[in-house]
Amino acid sequence: MAFEDLKYAQRNRLEYLDRLFFWNGAATRASLIQQFGISNAQAALDFRAYLKELGDDALIYDATSRQYLAQKGFQRLTGPAATSELLEFFESETRSIYDEFPDLQRSQNVHAFLPLYRAIRAGQSVEIVYQSMRDPEPETRMIAPSRFVSDGVRLHVRAYCFTRKQFRDFIPSRIDLELSFLKSSVAEDVPRDDEWFTWSVLELRPHKRLAASQQRVVRTEFGFTEDVLEIRIRQALEFYTTRRWGLDQEFPRLECLTIKHVPMTKEEIDAN
């Protein structure tokens, strides 16, 4: 990896320079000065260090614009680019070129997580009053929390429910904090979470109803490298994968050819 022998502060500046040349195609010493508040002399040193690492023909200096320009042969020194890097540059734009859709599910009460987290660490079961979306009234349940799970939008807690006699996912924001966590005990007689220790292997492909040109776009969008895209997830997370990839929609872009459930090996279980 480039710049590993440099101190953190300078390495951070050179990595920023690398992103600038990739996304903007140009950079100057003033770019570093403005971003990091360093001196002109330090910016000059950083540029020399970057150019030495980069090699010939990747950049040229344009006297008219007084900046270095990335050429066709430019290759990043810091690994593959990510779209998340764009957010950094959006913030520096003089005009707004970015907005985002409001996330109505982002708000979660941290005070609901604290007793659940402590119960997991202590191996305890706790009593909660929970409002599910299936039942019209809240219900008191004794659960043994085991893990937190993210569906990409919010955190869930996976727990053994002694009322339902099975492992289920609970959304902490649906727990009544005033009535819950008043009772706790050592979690006993909790069975093994077999769905957590089983792989769901999904074989996906662009939906057959799509035109050939649409299928090509879907293959690019979802990162296909072969005819079928194989996804391996925990069986416990299969529902969230189906929802997030849109497999349950009326007109999905992808279709699932097969789902195989494969128990984890002992080595995989120990590592997980």
Let me know: does 124 contact 150? Beta carbons within 8 Å: no
Could you write out the DSSP letters of every residue in 60-126? EEETTTTEEEE-TT---SSSS--GGGHHHHHTT-SS--------TT----HHHHHHHHHHHHHTEEE
Q: What is the pLDDT of residue 1?
A: 53
Q: In what order do the strands lie in the sheet with 59-62?
A: 26-27, 67-70, 59-62
pLDDT tens, residue by residue, 52-65: 888 778 899 999 99
Phi and psi at 97, nearest 5°, equal -125, 20
Q: pLDDT of the chain along its 272 residues, tens only?
A: 577 888 999 999 999 999 999 999 999 999 999 999 999 999 999 999 998 888 778 899 999 999 999 998 899 999 888 888 888 888 777 777 888 777 666 567 888 999 999 999 999 999 999 999 988 999 999 999 999 998 878 899 999 999 999 999 999 999 999 999 999 999 999 999 999 999 999 999 999 999 999 999 999 999 999 999 999 999 999 999 988 888 888 889 999 999 999 999 999 888 87
Cross-sheet strand order for the sheet of 254-263: 229-234, 198-206, 254-263
Neighbouring residues of 205: CB distance < 8 A, sequence distance ≥ 6: 227, 228, 229, 254, 255, 257
pLDDT at 104: 62
CA–CA dist 207, 250 (Å, integer): 11
Q: Which domains does the chain have, with CATH numbers?
A: 8-90 (1.10.10.10), 110-186 (2.30.30), 198-271 (no CATH)
Structural element, H or E, at residue 161: strand 155-161
Asked if 107 and 124 count as a contact pair (C-beta separation under 8 A), the reply is no
AA identity, residue 133 = M
